[in-house]
Structure 1
Amino acid sequence: MNKIFFLRLILASVLGGAIGINRELRAKEAGIRTHFLVSLGSALIMIISQHGFNDVIDLAGYELDPARVAAQVVSGIGFIGAGMIIIQKHTIKGLTSAAGIWTTAGIGLTVGGGLYFVGISATILTLIGFELTTIIFKQIGTKTTAFVVSTTEKEALQEVIQLLRKKHKYLQKYEVSDKMTGDEKVYSATFEVRSNSTRDGTVLLEEIQAIPHVIVEKADFSVGE
């Protein structure tokens, strides 16, 4: 029996480490050591929950719930996940890493409970999910840039909008306003665009600045990172 428990701990560690390697390569908040330990610890707690009280259960008159200790992992892992979630410039970061840790804990519990096929399947699906979404986001862009442009020519502002619409994957939303400055009406627009990298965002701004009568007042490349 001890050999089986040892193999469960090894398998849980390997599966958790596999997810951790993926996150480490992506430079995420939680890497291989965190996922390794979460999966190993979850498997250990599951084994203890199922088999650690056999001597007590054997006593007459005692009835224990074998899942009671393991159930605490589900709620307890939330503290680790919460520590990864931060709010920066009105943007929430770390949700995916927190969800990954939560899933890794579930995989550890599964393997610790002896459901090897389910644990391996969940690991494969998790890795496929991470990689597939990475590929998709590379296609549609993952960085958001906010910038403000101004012009005294309404037609020039329309050119900016048309440029962004032509590059349809970039434009997310925009707001336009106008005000009188002396005898001239100045049109101002705030745009949020999505790009694959900061370099792409910079190139896009250069194209906008090349439009006559358009001035880029402000650009923030850190939005949504």
Structure 2
Amino acid sequence: MTASNSRALHATWLSMLACEPGIEIKGEPVMDATCLATCLERRHPKVLLLDKMLLDRLDPLSLRRIRQHRPHVRVLLVSGQVCRSVVADVLRNRFHGLLLTTSPPDLYLKAIHAISKGELWLSRQLMAEAIIDPTWPLEIGVSADPERLHAMETLSRRELQVVERLHRGCSNKEIARELGIMEDTVKKHLKSVFAKLGVRRRALVILQGSATA
């Protein structure tokens, strides 16, 4: 199902997906934010392409109704720009992925197929920025505090090397190759980093799952 207040964006999505094997567009495009929750409840799509501009128009009640369907509907947020505030929207609402509006068709299809299988689609680099910047909370309702600032100082030299490469967009396999260590060792370092910084499990899943890099 697609949701955007832009007719041009809907037209782009339709031309991209209409003839794609294994993908069926459910119902007419949703252009009114007030109708989105009702349409989700009626059509039961597996994946929702949600325009960031329409998300910004959702009232709290509609957003809460959409969250109730989150286990059954996987939301791919599509935005004209990818920045920290948009990543925060994904994390805060527990959406399943983030994609640029201008992404090529093959990337749209990869993202849709990935989240439909239960994977997560988010840039490793953006997620790493959120982790290594202690002033930016990853979880809703959590403010930056001195404890997290001090926690950065507890990271070992190797953990800092892993995070620095994660920030560059490297995969676990690429990090292991550059540092001359096993991929399982990279995962252990990441788990230690998340534990020290108080980053919850969702960030770990995003970083170790599929990513647009």
What TM-score do the two structures reach when normalised by structure 1?
A: 0.25
Higher helix share: 1
How does the TM-score come out when normalised to structure 2?
Answer: 0.26
Q: Which has the larger radius of gyration?
A: 1
Between structures 1 and 2, the one with greater strand share: 1
